Amino acid sequence: MLYQKATVENGQVKILETKVVDQSKLTSDCWMIQIEGAKACEKCEFKNKPRLCGGMKIREKYGILPVSKSKSTTVKFKWLTGDVNWMDHGGKWISSKLNNGEFDYWLVLSLDNLHNACGEREAKEMGGKYTVSLDAVAPSQVNEKDFQSAMEGWGMEDRAVSSLTDEMKVELLHSYGTHATLWYANGYNASALLKEGREHAKNEGKTNINSTLNSFANRIGHTKADFLRGDLSFETAMANRKVYEAQVA
């Protein structure tokens, strides 16, 4: 079956997306979820309406949960790396493996002490002693060449990617800068900032991850998904801008 998305421009039909779907693998549940994945729910008028939604039984498989199950969206973190005295020297925590219906990813909650990093005066100008960020890392979305560059950057060029555990891959890419920042804040209360970060993990980091990744991350035109892949080319930014301009035209 040929599935297409189209729009009308100046009286002409313009094809935006084409996908070949194996109809034999489709069940009687919502076809849009099975074809488009989690993003099909983002603007669906029947979202979170059990009596009308045709995909309630398969939503969790694609990372979409109804509001009535919001408690189950809690994301648990465990220690990843950092100093034993992380309040003074920083630390990172990693979530369990998550999936958005298309690929696996992990969330990293990190805390840095700006007094130690750049000095008290600079920290005050930045809005506080601590900065906490929530980032998404997806090793499977990074191409082999860029992954190898990250390994070389950390003196690991002699190791095979296959020899790394998932947590090692996440830490490697996160430290190298290949991640999507979903949220960050500065302040003077580290515990409050970490609590706020965990709240954002339930929303931007899990329930609404696809719409978050599709949002722009800079004025050039890169999306957060581009940062997740490590694709910050000019060509990618321009392609994103063209898609956006066509949507709002």
Instruction: Tell me the pLDDT tens digit for each residue of 40-78.
Output: 777 777 776 666 677 777 777 776 655 444 445 689 999
pLDDT at residue 243 in the model: 80
CA distance 106 to 222: 21
Element holding 105 (H helix, E strand): strand 104-113
In terms of domains, do 127 and 158 share one? yes
In terms of domains, do 193 and 79 share one? yes
| Range with the poorest average pLDDT among 1-5, 97-101, 150-154, 184-188 | 1-5
Could you say which DSSP state residue 204 is in?
A: I
Q: Is 185 domain-assigned?
A: yes
Token output for 182: 């979903």
CA distance 24 to 106: 32
In terms of domains, do 19 and 132 share one? no
In terms of domains, do 144 and 104 share one? yes
CA distance 93 to 79: 4
From the list 217, 245, 247, 248, the residue with the least C-alpha distance to 230 is 217
Q: Is 224 domain-assigned?
A: no
In terms of domains, do 60 and 123 share one? no
pLDDT at residue 69 in the model: 44
In terms of domains, do 147 and 206 share one? yes
> Are residues 111 and 136 in contact, defined by beta-carbon separation less than 8 angstroms?
no
The mean per-residue pLDDT over the stretch 20-45 comes to 78
Q: Is 249 domain-assigned?
A: no
Confidence at 249, pLDDT banded by 50, 70, 90: low
Regarding pTM above 0.95, the answer is no
In terms of domains, do 94 and 198 share one? yes
From the list 137, 133, 226, the residue with the least C-alpha distance to 183 is 133
More confident residue, 3 or 186: 186
> Are residues 75 and 206 in contact, defined by beta-carbon separation less than 8 angstroms?
yes
Q: Is 242 domain-assigned?
A: no
Give the CA angle between residues 230, 207, 17 to the nearest 5°. Answer: 60
Q: Is 83 domain-assigned?
A: yes
In terms of domains, do 140 and 186 share one? yes
Which residue matches tokens 């070949």?
20
* Residue partners of 135: CB distance under 8 A and separation at least 6: 107, 108, 110, 174, 179, 180, 181, 182
pLDDT of 126 > 80? The answer is no
* Residue partners of 67: CB distance under 8 A and separation at least 6: 48
In terms of domains, do 56 and 102 share one? no
Token output for 64: 């979409």
pLDDT at residue 71 in the model: 47
Local structure of 19: helix, strand or coil:
strand
Q: Is 226 domain-assigned?
A: no
In terms of domains, do 57 and 112 share one? no
Q: Is 228 domain-assigned?
A: no
Element holding 115 (H helix, E strand): helix 114-118
Mean pLDDT across the chain, nearest whole number? 84
| Range with the poorest average pLDDT among 58-72, 98-112, 216-230 | 58-72
From the list 232, 145, 219, 220, the residue with the least C-alpha distance to 180 is 232
Give me the domain span that covers residue 172: 74-211
In terms of domains, do 57 and 176 share one? no
The total number of structural domains in the chain stands at: 2
